[in-house]
Chain A
């Protein structure tokens, strides 16, 4: 009885399983046809009406994407296109780029392609070689010449001499990050603002004596953030994967085994030992860091000048009405008086190679060329004429409504302007008006005059095979470098005793090989 029943039952179950399979097939087939139709509609219209351009969009949480932005409408109207935008959260944007580019599903235009992703994919033939189409992009050509940006553009040019992206450019470098210190305390204790690292040590020491519970120096954005903002002054930045280019010997050098870096480590381990630096110097989150600064627990840090307004407002309420953090000129180290690295091309727009075969390709190039026109740049940066800005005698300025709104930046974002996904150039006069900080302006002037901005890090031009080896070795080297940096600064390893071991080990882990690869590219 049991046997028979079992057989009957199992047949039924088999039927059930077949049904499930059939159902799931039907389900997927239905939705499958749905998307196919949509894809067709997007590319078909090549007639008179506005051509549809699909675009991957880096959705910044400060100004979440809004399809009804006036600037977006204006862009579509002026360029006679329909932008079909695919917003992806900024936090995961580069990840999604990796997937989309690897699988060949990229839309017509991709914004905000970071340098690492760009370098990875440009060599694989996924991206369109923009430099082959320069004759169709006269506006881009003109802007590249005007901004005299060839040195930086070279870092985006590959071994084959081609450019695979449309650069997003800053007209001028800005002194918008700086060492900042509590000037009210300097005045109170009759101290001079530090100009060298030794003076900085003395000042921090005095401030610690005045308030023994404090940790005078704090830091945000971890160990790499600190190196980014102060590395040039120490002569260990700006770097590409930790490598500096020495223009005298015409060779790459590894920054983090240099004598300068040893001094950098000694300085911070001394600060740590004497209680002059925050024990969480490499690990503070933005909120924790802000709290340390605004409560007066820390009085010196490297940061964005635009952050100071909020911290000063909070500090005045919490600590003392005199509370004032103010930016300083670069503090000189062994590298000289050098500010933070000032990239003028941080990312690029890209077009996938596959777009060249689509019927809307000519229109796409036309649109891209238009994006580099003065008209497009004006809309993208200043916003809407008469609403967010006024033009008088050839001089542009924001309207009073924008100026009095509390934040110019925010007022622009509200109409879709000042958006990295629509504009291609941030001009200097515009950007300084947006930052609206006389200190940034005067310090930038001074920086340009006194040559505080360090040269950009040189990127070696690698073959695809070398690129692969680089990626592999670099991970190992970087992990070891980060671990040892922490050990040296926190005194777990002694700089006097363990330095030689460290140099030897990191060379073996890949620095020697990477140097060989990089220097070979120069031949």
Chain B
């Protein structure tokens, strides 16, 4: 630990901290600006007077967003899609990746090739749509969660991770009389918490943010997720001629605040998930599990 006392190290710490602070500021300031725009009065926003502190504080923009007839249903649908999609994906990825991570599996290379092929080539939008339609999934939640439950890239991550678990651990479990399913559930999965946590986070963010599939496959507002509604609000406020009608004259809500409020109310929930999964990322579970 002697190096910590050297002058070079002190300089390194100073410069490092400055760079990190700048980086944090670059991320935090736009976010705070958007937050304060969402809480400010129209004339201050349009006058360009809003920095990172709200001017003419009011919640009207949020009231406006939540006045939308489908937004509450939208939140419910988003949560449902996200929970179902993430659970299903994790399940499918696990049971697909585990066997494929075993070198002794016959035809493994061919199977992997089939799956990886879809990473680079896809059927295209309309053929995929027609497939979903022929499977009878149109206008159901399955159209949103099933076709996307196995993402080749995530599968690759998971396979690599499973493959990295020393075979000796599984062998000894097998000697103790465990079958492959119980080995997977009792030994492998507990050892794979970091990758599971990472993928859960990716999947949650993916399903929460994905409005496109819902737009294509769902016909009914009762099923639309909140992101689709928010996207419509945002792009609508971009239309001139239309925008005048969105905010009434003399009203405290400008289109900029409305947009900011819509973005805030949908990104905040997802941001709250990060702290809960973060602790799994750094953990080196595997260290020391193999002896000699």
B240/A406 in contact, CB under 8 A: no
In the complex, chain A residues whose CB is within 8 Å of the CB of B250: 310, 313, 406
A99/B180 in contact, CB under 8 A: no
In the complex, chain A residues whose CB is within 8 Å of the CB of B181: 12, 16
In the complex, chain B residues whose CB is within 8 Å of the CB of A59: 221, 232
- A286 is contacted by which of B43, B232, B237, B249 (Cβ under 8 Å)? B237
1/0 contact trace for B234-273 toward A, CB 8 Å? 0111111111111111110011100100000000000000
In the complex, chain A residues whose CB is within 8 Å of the CB of B235: 61, 89-91
- A60 is contacted by which of B104, B130, B236 (Cβ under 8 Å)? B236
Given contacts A20-B92, A99-B125, contact A61 B102 (CB under 8 A): no
Q: Give the contacts of A5-57 with B (CB-CB under 8 A).
A: 5-7, 9-10, 12-14, 16-17, 19-20, 24, 27-29, 31-36, 38
B186 is an interface residue with CB less than 8 A from chain A: no
Q: In the assembly, what is the distance between CA of A379 and CA of B255, in Å?
A: 30
- A309 is contacted by which of B228, B249, B255 (Cβ under 8 Å)? B249
B47/A318 in contact, CB under 8 A: yes
B240/A220 in contact, CB under 8 A: yes
Q: In the assembly, what is the distance between CA of A88 and CA of B251, in Å?
A: 28
In the complex, chain B residues whose CB is within 8 Å of the CB of A9: 102, 104, 180
Interface segment, B3-11, B13-21, B25-33, B138-146? B138-146
A5/B174 in contact, CB under 8 A: yes
A410/B255 in contact, CB under 8 A: no
Interface segment, B197-205, B212-220, B274-282, B284-292? B212-220
Q: Give the contacts of A74-103 with B (CB-CB under 8 A).
A: 86-92, 95-96, 99, 102-103
- B255 is contacted by which of A91, A99, A286, A295 (Cβ under 8 Å)? A286
Q: In the assembly, what is the distance between CA of A47 and CA of B106, in Å?
A: 60
B interface, size bucket? 35 or more
A287 is an interface residue with CB less than 8 A from chain B: yes
In the complex, chain B residues whose CB is within 8 Å of the CB of A92: 215, 231
Q: In the assembly, what is the distance between CA of A14 and CA of B181, in Å?
A: 12
In the complex, chain B residues whose CB is within 8 Å of the CB of A291: 46-48
Given contacts A12-B180, A99-B125, A294-B47, contact A89 B138 (CB under 8 A): no
Q: In the assembly, what is the distance between CA of A27 and CA of B88, in Å?
A: 11
A64/B244 in contact, CB under 8 A: no
**Count of chain A residues with a beta carbon within 8 Å of a chain B beta carbon:** 73
In the complex, chain A residues whose CB is within 8 Å of the CB of B229: 64, 89
A103/B248 in contact, CB under 8 A: no
A521 is an interface residue with CB less than 8 A from chain B: no
B233/A307 in contact, CB under 8 A: no
- A221 is contacted by which of B68, B171, B240 (Cβ under 8 Å)? B240
In the complex, chain B residues whose CB is within 8 Å of the CB of A221: 240
In the complex, chain A residues whose CB is within 8 Å of the CB of B130: 103
In the complex, chain B residues whose CB is within 8 Å of the CB of A96: 215-216
Given contacts A5-B174, A61-B237, A310-B249, contact A105 B133 (CB under 8 A): yes
A501 is an interface residue with CB less than 8 A from chain B: no
A304 is an interface residue with CB less than 8 A from chain B: yes
Q: 11 other contacts beyond A103-B126, A287-B255, A406-B251, with CB at 8 A cut-off?
A: A6-B104, A12-B181, A27-B142, A28-B142, A103-B130, A176-B241, A291-B46, A294-B47, A304-B244, A318-B43, A407-B249
13 contacts between A and B (CB under 8 A): A13-B105, A36-B136, A61-B246, A66-B69, A88-B219, A89-B228, A95-B215, A287-B254, A291-B46, A291-B47, A294-B43, A306-B245, A410-B248
Which residues of A are interface residues toward B (Cβ below 8 A)? 5-7, 9-10, 12-14, 16-17, 19-20, 24, 27-29, 31-36, 38, 59-62, 64-67, 86-92, 95-96, 99, 102-103, 105, 176-177, 220-221, 225, 285-287, 289-291, 294-295, 303-304, 306-307, 309-311, 313-314, 317-318, 406-407, 409-410, 413
Which residues of B are interface residues toward A (Cβ below 8 A)? 42-43, 46-48, 68-70, 92, 95-96, 98-99, 102, 104-106, 125-126, 129-130, 133, 135-142, 146, 171, 174, 179-181, 215-216, 219-221, 228-229, 231-233, 235-251, 254-256, 259
